Amino acid sequence: MSERPASRSAAAPRSPQGPGPVAAVHRILIVAALLCAVVYAAWEANESRRTGEGAALVRCGVALLAAAGIGVYLRSLRGLAAKLTSRASEKP
């Protein structure tokens, strides 16, 4: 039987400088989600104004609550890069 080669992620050395672009890409995706929630809320508000449908106003409120939650999460990511970066004094 032949042995299977180790996966690339297991064989790749870890970067001592930190997470690399993962933290930045994560923030970009969270900002995109925030913008989508705000645009959807505006669209539902317009739909409610145009048709008078109460459910559209409820959906607008839910979208605004989601946008607020995403915004709070985005603010919590401020120190993410510092948390994920190893410090020289912590090296074994």
How far are the Cα atoms of 49, 68, 71 from residue 37, in angstroms, in the given order? 18, 9, 10
Q: What pLDDT sits at residue 31?
A: 95
Percent over 90 (pLDDT), the chain:
51
Rounded distance, CA 15 to CA 27, Å?
20
* CA max distance for the chain: 70
For residue range 69-89, list pLDDT tens digits in order: 999 999 998 877 667 666 655
- 3-state helix, strand, coil split of the chain in percent (to 5) is 70, 0, 30
pLDDT at 51 over 70: yes
Would you call 15 helix, strand, or coil by DSSP?
coil
60 has a pLDDT exceeding 90: yes
